[in-house]
Amino acid sequence: MQCINAAKLLPDHLLKEIQQYIQGEALYIPTCKSKRRKWGESSGAADYYKVRNAEIRSRFQEGAEMDQLCEQYGLSIDSIRKIVYSKNPQS
Protein backbone atom coordinates (compact mmCIF):
# COMPACT_ATOMS: atom_id res chain seq x y z
CA MET A 1 0.00 0.00 0.00
CA GLN A 2 1.39 3.37 -0.99
CA CYS A 3 1.11 6.58 1.04
CA ILE A 4 -0.04 9.66 -0.84
CA ASN A 5 -0.05 13.21 0.50
CA ALA A 6 -3.72 14.18 0.63
CA ALA A 7 -2.82 17.86 0.04
CA LYS A 8 -1.47 16.90 -3.38
CA LEU A 9 -4.47 14.80 -4.30
CA LEU A 10 -7.63 16.24 -2.78
CA PRO A 11 -9.29 19.62 -3.39
CA ASP A 12 -8.87 22.13 -0.54
CA HIS A 13 -12.49 22.00 0.61
CA LEU A 14 -12.40 18.22 0.92
CA LEU A 15 -9.02 18.24 2.68
CA LYS A 16 -10.33 20.76 5.24
CA GLU A 17 -13.40 18.60 5.82
CA ILE A 18 -11.28 15.51 6.46
CA GLN A 19 -8.97 17.50 8.76
CA GLN A 20 -11.93 18.09 11.06
CA TYR A 21 -11.88 14.37 11.83
CA ILE A 22 -8.21 13.42 11.57
CA GLN A 23 -4.91 15.31 11.27
CA GLY A 24 -1.39 14.02 10.74
CA GLU A 25 -2.41 10.35 10.84
CA ALA A 26 -2.45 7.63 8.22
CA LEU A 27 -5.91 7.04 6.80
CA TYR A 28 -6.93 3.98 4.82
CA ILE A 29 -9.71 4.51 2.28
CA PRO A 30 -11.16 1.18 1.10
CA THR A 31 -12.32 0.61 -2.44
CA CYS A 32 -16.00 0.75 -3.32
CA LYS A 33 -17.76 -2.59 -3.04
CA SER A 34 -18.63 -2.45 -6.72
CA LYS A 35 -14.94 -2.14 -7.62
CA ARG A 36 -13.71 -4.97 -5.41
CA ARG A 37 -12.56 -8.14 -7.03
CA LYS A 38 -13.52 -11.54 -5.77
CA TRP A 39 -10.92 -13.85 -4.30
CA GLY A 40 -8.48 -15.14 -6.89
CA GLU A 41 -9.57 -12.91 -9.77
CA SER A 42 -6.36 -10.91 -9.89
CA SER A 43 -3.97 -13.83 -9.52
CA GLY A 44 -5.91 -16.32 -11.64
CA ALA A 45 -6.22 -18.73 -8.71
CA ALA A 46 -10.01 -18.86 -8.94
CA ASP A 47 -9.87 -19.98 -12.58
CA TYR A 48 -7.15 -22.52 -11.80
CA TYR A 49 -9.26 -24.16 -9.08
CA LYS A 50 -12.40 -24.16 -11.24
CA VAL A 51 -10.55 -26.04 -13.97
CA ARG A 52 -8.86 -28.41 -11.51
CA ASN A 53 -12.13 -29.21 -9.73
CA ALA A 54 -13.92 -29.80 -13.05
CA GLU A 55 -11.15 -32.25 -14.01
CA ILE A 56 -11.53 -34.06 -10.69
CA ARG A 57 -15.31 -34.34 -11.13
CA SER A 58 -14.90 -35.55 -14.69
CA ARG A 59 -12.31 -38.19 -13.78
CA PHE A 60 -14.50 -39.39 -10.91
CA GLN A 61 -17.52 -39.72 -13.20
CA GLU A 62 -15.34 -41.69 -15.64
CA GLY A 63 -14.61 -44.20 -12.87
CA ALA A 64 -11.42 -42.97 -11.19
CA GLU A 65 -11.11 -44.01 -7.56
CA MET A 66 -10.91 -41.31 -4.88
CA ASP A 67 -7.56 -42.69 -3.70
CA GLN A 68 -6.15 -42.22 -7.20
CA LEU A 69 -7.46 -38.64 -7.31
CA CYS A 70 -5.93 -37.91 -3.89
CA GLU A 71 -2.55 -39.11 -5.12
CA GLN A 72 -2.71 -37.33 -8.46
CA TYR A 73 -3.86 -33.96 -7.16
CA GLY A 74 -2.15 -34.04 -3.76
CA LEU A 75 -5.39 -33.53 -1.85
CA SER A 76 -6.92 -35.28 1.13
CA ILE A 77 -9.80 -37.70 0.73
CA ASP A 78 -12.07 -35.15 2.44
CA SER A 79 -11.12 -32.46 -0.10
CA ILE A 80 -11.80 -34.83 -2.99
CA ARG A 81 -15.19 -35.75 -1.49
CA LYS A 82 -16.12 -32.08 -1.11
CA ILE A 83 -15.22 -31.40 -4.73
CA VAL A 84 -16.92 -34.49 -6.14
CA TYR A 85 -20.13 -34.21 -4.12
CA SER A 86 -20.37 -30.42 -4.21
CA LYS A 87 -23.84 -29.12 -5.09
CA ASN A 88 -22.20 -26.03 -6.60
CA PRO A 89 -19.91 -27.35 -9.36
CA GLN A 90 -18.57 -23.86 -10.13
CA SER A 91 -16.20 -23.97 -7.15
Position 68 pLDDT exceeds 60: yes
What is the domain partition of the chain in residue ranges?
6-35, 45-84
Residue 78 to residue 84: CA distance in whole angstroms: 10
Nearest to 90 by CA among 30, 49, 34, 29: 49
- pLDDT tier for residue 90 given thresholds of 50, 70 and 90: low
Residue 74 to residue 68: CA distance in whole angstroms: 10
Average pLDDT over residues 12-17: 94
Give start and end residues of each alpha helix (H) in the chain: 6-9, 12-19, 45-61, 66-73, 77-84
pLDDT tens digits, one per residue of 18-60: 999 998 888 888 877 777 778 888 888 999 999 999 999 999 9
Residue 28 to residue 8: CA distance in whole angstroms: 16
